[in-house]
Amino acid sequence: MLSRTADNLYWLARYMERADFLARAIQASRRLAALPKAYGGDETEWESVLLSSGAALSFDASGRPVDEANVIEFLTFAPENPGSIRNCLEQARANARAVRTALTIEMWESINDAYLEMRALESRGVVPCAQELARFLEVIKQTSLTYDGGAYRTMLRNDAYWFSRVGLFIERADNTARLLDVKYHVLLPEKEIVGGSLDYFQWSAILRAVSAHTAYHWVYRTSMKPWLVADLLILRPEMPRSLISCYESIVRNLDNLARAHGRQGSSQRHARGVYGKLEKLNMESVFQGGLHEFVQSFISENNRLAALISEQYLF
Amino acid sequence: MDSRITQFDELAGADGRTRAPYRKLSQWLAETPPELLASRREQAELLFRRIGITFAVYGAQEATERLIPFDILPRILARSEWATLEKGLIQRVTALNAFLADIYGAGEILRAGIVPADLVYRNPAYCPDMAGRRVPFDIYVHIAGVDIVRTDDQGFFVLEDNARTPSGVSYMLENREVMMRLFPELFALHRVAPIENYPDELLGTLRSVAPPRANGDPTVVLMTPGQYNSAFYEHSFLADKLGVELVEGRDLFVRDDVVYMRTTEGPRRVDVIYRRIDDDFLDPLCFRPDSALGVAGLMGAYQAGNVTLANAVGAGAADDKAMYTYMPDIIKFYLGEAPLLQNVPTFRCREQEALAYVLDHLDELVVKEVNGSGGYGMLVGPHATRAQIEEFRAKLKAHPQNFIAQPTLALSTCPIAMASGVAPRHVDLRPFVLQGANGARVVPGGLTRVAMTEKSLVVNSSQGGGTKDTWVIDDAWSAEEAMGQA
């Protein structure tokens, strides 16, 4: 397959996954910020959303005050924020258009439909009201489901599929890790207070952002404990957004590529290394070494993998 | 052939009696409530928008992706009409090809004094680098789009030959798919000749002209200028249907006169390039040095015979509007046959006498730039303002050799379905002719372009023209009836 096509597919998957994560993170934060102060509802929540979505610097540069309306607008519709949902969607569509031949019609239509809907909303030239915004976020989530489902159900299992999956899981791992990084202070074990905690709603917001709120209860069958929230997002293989689950998928898809191309390379070795470390890890040692330090080092290992893939497959 | 003859409607005929090919459609239209037509029109628009069939219009900032208006009523040709057309098209393209092989080879037609040598050698589309070289199987025009019009039910006229990179075939194919989804009942009524085999025929044509060292299993690619090109949708559509890689210049490189594409598995050899990019942009070493769209060294590989380009470099020398006027002579010279399709009578403004006539009759004629295309740079006399006419008069006097003029044709009309009802509009037809080492062929039909505004004669999509599905149907009515209609 053309290297440019592979590159396009890889980034297309990343943009779609990022748009989905942003939509979920915004929804979870809105819920949290709407709570009374005593329950953790706080304007600082919007700062942490900016941080976990990697948009804090460009937001600062815009000089706007940090409040709910500004942050949501910036993350959703702002053309000047390169990582806004609208820009992710626009980029995704541009990539999809360039590689139409590598996508199935279902995948293209799901992206194109969402794009047309966004254009219709934008073309009115007024700031969308809260209800329209909520609807738009739902559309984005729905789009990532139909896109992903379309890929899963209709794509040939060849390098186009594998590159696209690798992109998705690298982005997903990055998103989960950033979320953990911003919220690590509320997940430390010593923060636990018997008989309920102010941080309870923070934990549940984290889980909602990765749509794991119900999953938590099925896995642990106990009330919310911060270290278990961290465990779920890092080490539980059955949780589809955990770091270990992402890496299990990355290793599998990279192996498929290596088999098809008849060559194992540095990206396969690196991915296996990261996965192996996660498999041997337990939460005690993570907390001992420092959750923050662990997440930081994971993010840089994940970036390193992205660079190795580019190198190996001539992007 | 003057503008006073009565307008010919392909449904109503000259005498107002419904013509045989349209009889069933006409009856169906009479029985169909207008609301149904309206709802099908909406569905069609939705389908096109969802599939993403768009067309970029140069200069229209706010609408960089626009839908080409689609009309839901089919344009219908009888198989007997098509048979004449098909023979004429193949004859014409065969002659175009022989002409190109000659002007890049022995130049017999020039020495015979049939076509003036300066018209060939000073033509900007003539490529001196190709002189004295042979192309694989001597085929220059692998894909041709020949623009056809009619003014009565006697015959067809050729308006223009396109031997460079004719576009529009994706609309021909998609229009049919959309029509089959919208009007299954109409397809059940008519026996419509299929066109869905076009991509297979195209691939067969491209594979047939591969260099011998491809050993019967050539790698074919489609080369696009990129996603900002107005026809990008068509490029990606065709690559998909052909099952070949859609490449840009940056995906290709040349080493030791061999073309490779960059793939995730390393370089892969390329044998045939169906290029949808103009000669000038193919190779910055040979043509425009500022072209970022091309591939350095591509011409070297081509001339070494290691890769086939379709269409051949320099094929444009046969299709400009000045050469067009010589086509009847060209056909006679190479094939020894009378042309089956007529040319529209054309004044060559480079000739003194013709120029004088044209200048005197600007308000009746259509004046076209010899190298213009897409409906740009043309004057439609009867619809032009005084100022436009004077502007063209000045241009004509300054550079008469750059222009030709034709009588304003009473192009035939076909019914279209609009919000306000069914009404006739002017149409033309672009069939696509394929020519490979395995022979020449045309799929039955083509792209019907329609001027959506009343009385307008300009059908180009860049000027707001629309398209229709084109049906070739079996002559199911009795032989006498067909005779009676003719």
How confident is the model over B240-266, as pLDDT tens digits? 889 999 999 999 999 999 999 999 988
- C-alpha B99/C-alpha B348 separation (Å) is 20
Mean of the pLDDT values across residues B57-74? 66
Whether ipTM > 0.85 holds is no
How confident is the model over B217-236, as pLDDT tens digits? 999 999 999 988 888 889 98
Mutation site, B47, B230, B264, B295, interface A, largest A CB count within 10 A: B264
Between A245-254, B14-23, B135-144, B271-280, the lowest mean confidence (pLDDT) is in: B14-23
DSSP string, A127-144: PPPHHHHHHHHHHHHHHH
Residues 6+ apart with CB under 8 A from B61: none
- Is the model's pLDDT at B60 over the cut of 80? no
Between A57-61, B362-366, B474-478, the lowest mean confidence (pLDDT) is in: B474-478
Which sequence spans correspond to the domains of chain A? 1-154, 157-315
Chain A residues with at least one Cβ partner in B under 8 Å: 1-6, 94, 97-98, 100-101, 105, 108-109, 112-113, 116, 159, 163, 257, 261, 313-314
**DSSP type of residue B432:** E
Give the model's pLDDT for residue B481.
Answer: 53
Q: Do B263 and A108 touch (CB under 8 A)?
A: no
Q: Do B263 and A261 touch (CB under 8 A)?
A: no
In the three-class reduction of DSSP (H, G, I as helix; E, B as strand; rest coil), residue B440 is classed as: strand
- Is the model's pLDDT at B486 over the cut of 50? no
User: Are B362 and B393 within 8 A, CB to CB?
Assistant: yes
Q: Do B264 and A313 touch (CB under 8 A)?
A: yes
Mean of the pLDDT values across residues A232-237? 96
User: Are B299 and B285 within 8 A, CB to CB?
Assistant: yes
For the ranges A109-123, A288-302, B395-409, the one whose mean pLDDT is highest: A288-302
Shortest CA distance from B252: residue in chain A: A2
> In the structure, what pLDDT confidence band is assigned to residue B53 with cuts at 50, 70 and 90?
low
Which of the two residues, B460 and A139, has the higher pLDDT score? A139
Q: Do A5 and B245 touch (CB under 8 A)?
A: yes
Between A33-42, A164-173, A228-237, the lowest mean confidence (pLDDT) is in: A33-42
In this complex, which of B50, B239, B263 lies closest to A3 when CB atoms are compared?
B263
Helix (H) or strand (E) holding B279: none
Mean of the pLDDT values across residues A178-192? 73
> In the structure, what pLDDT confidence band is assigned to residue B290 with cuts at 50, 70 and 90?
confident
Q: What is the CA radius of gyration of chain A?
A: 20
- Is the model's pLDDT at B1 over the cut of 50? no
Number of Cβ within a 10 Å radius of residue A38: 7
Give the model's pLDDT for residue B402.
Answer: 86
Which residues in chain A have their CB less than 8 angstroms from residue B49's CB?
A: 116
Mean of the pLDDT values across residues A163-190? 87
Tell me which amino acid residue A166 is. V
> In the structure, what pLDDT confidence band is assigned to residue B88 with cuts at 50, 70 and 90?
very high
Give the model's pLDDT for residue A181.
Answer: 86
Q: Do A6 and B264 touch (CB under 8 A)?
A: yes
> In the structure, what pLDDT confidence band is assigned to residue B440 with cuts at 50, 70 and 90?
very high
- Is the model's pLDDT at B179 over the cut of 50? yes
How many beta-carbon contacts under 8 Å exist across A and B?
Answer: 56
Q: What is the mean pLDDT of chain B?
A: 88
Give the model's pLDDT for residue B52.
Answer: 63
Between A87-101, B11-25, B366-380, B446-460, the lowest mean confidence (pLDDT) is in: B366-380
Mean of the pLDDT values across residues B30-53? 85
User: Are B458 and B147 within 8 A, CB to CB?
Assistant: no
- Is the model's pLDDT at A32 over the cut of 90? no
Helix residue ranges, H only, B104-222 = 108-111, 117-121, 169-182, 184-189, 198-208
Q: Do B250 and A4 touch (CB under 8 A)?
A: yes
- Is the model's pLDDT at A183 over the cut of 70? yes
Give the model's pLDDT for residue A51.
Answer: 86
Q: Which of residues 420-439 of B touch A (CB under 8 A)?
A: none
- Is the model's pLDDT at B361 over the cut of 80? yes
> In the structure, what pLDDT confidence band is assigned to residue A19 with cuts at 50, 70 and 90?
very high
User: Are B468 and B70 within 8 A, CB to CB?
Assistant: yes
> In the structure, what pLDDT confidence band is assigned to residue B14 with cuts at 50, 70 and 90?
confident
Give the model's pLDDT for residue B2.
Answer: 40
User: Are A247 and A288 within 8 A, CB to CB?
Assistant: no
Helix residue ranges, H only, A155-225 = 159-183, 200-209, 213-220
> In the structure, what pLDDT confidence band is assigned to residue A239 with cuts at 50, 70 and 90?
very high
Q: Do A314 and B262 touch (CB under 8 A)?
A: yes
In this complex, which of A1, A100, A109 lies closest to B240 when CB atoms are compared?
A100
Q: Do B239 and A101 touch (CB under 8 A)?
A: yes
Shortest CA distance from B46: residue in chain A: A113
> In the structure, what pLDDT confidence band is assigned to residue A104 with cuts at 50, 70 and 90?
confident
- Is the model's pLDDT at A193 over the cut of 70? no
Residues A240, A245, A249, A251, Cα dihedral to 10° = 170
Residue B381 backbone phi and psi in degrees, to 5 = -45, -55
- Is the model's pLDDT at A165 over the cut of 70? yes
CA B479 from centroid of its chain's CA atoms: 32
Which residues in chain A have their CB less than 8 angstroms from residue B262's CB?
A: 2-4, 314
Give the model's pLDDT for residue B372.
Answer: 64
Between A47-56, A154-163, B25-34, the lowest mean confidence (pLDDT) is in: A47-56
Which of the two residues, B274 and B371, has the higher pLDDT score? B274
Residue B294 backbone phi and psi in degrees, to 5 = -95, -165
How confident is the model over B123-172, as pLDDT tens digits? 889 999 999 999 999 999 999 999 999 988 888 999 999 999 999 999 99
Q: Do A98 and B263 touch (CB under 8 A)?
A: no
Which residues in chain B have their CB less than 8 angstroms from residue A267's CB?
A: none
- Tell me the Ramachandran region of residue B137: left when phi exceeds 0, alpha when psi lies from -120 to 50, beta otherwise: left
Between A181-190, B204-213, B322-331, the lowest mean confidence (pLDDT) is in: A181-190
> In the structure, what pLDDT confidence band is assigned to residue A177 with cuts at 50, 70 and 90?
very high
Mean of the pLDDT values across residues A241-264? 96
Q: Do B232 and A97 touch (CB under 8 A)?
A: yes
Q: Which of residues 219-238 of B touch A (CB under 8 A)?
A: 226-227, 232, 236-237
- Is the model's pLDDT at B482 over the cut of 80? no
Which residues in chain A have their CB less than 8 angstroms from residue B45's CB?
A: none
* Beta pairing class for B447-450 and B245-247: unpaired
Mean of the pLDDT values across residues A135-153? 94
Shortest CA distance from B260: residue in chain A: A2
pTM of the model: 0.82
A75-113 as b/e, with b when 16 or more CB fall inside 10 Å?
bbbbeebebbbbbbbbbbbbbbbbbbbbbeeebbbbbbb
Give the model's pLDDT for residue B65.
Answer: 62
Q: What is the mean pLDDT of chain A?
A: 89
Percent of chain B with pLDDT over 90: 63
Tokens 């706010």 belong to B62
- Is the model's pLDDT at B480 over the cut of 70? no
Mean of the pLDDT values across residues A138-157? 94
Give the model's pLDDT for residue A195.
Answer: 43
- Is the model's pLDDT at B112 over the cut of 50? yes
Give the model's pLDDT for residue B3.
Answer: 41
Which of the two residues, A248 and B61, has the higher pLDDT score? A248
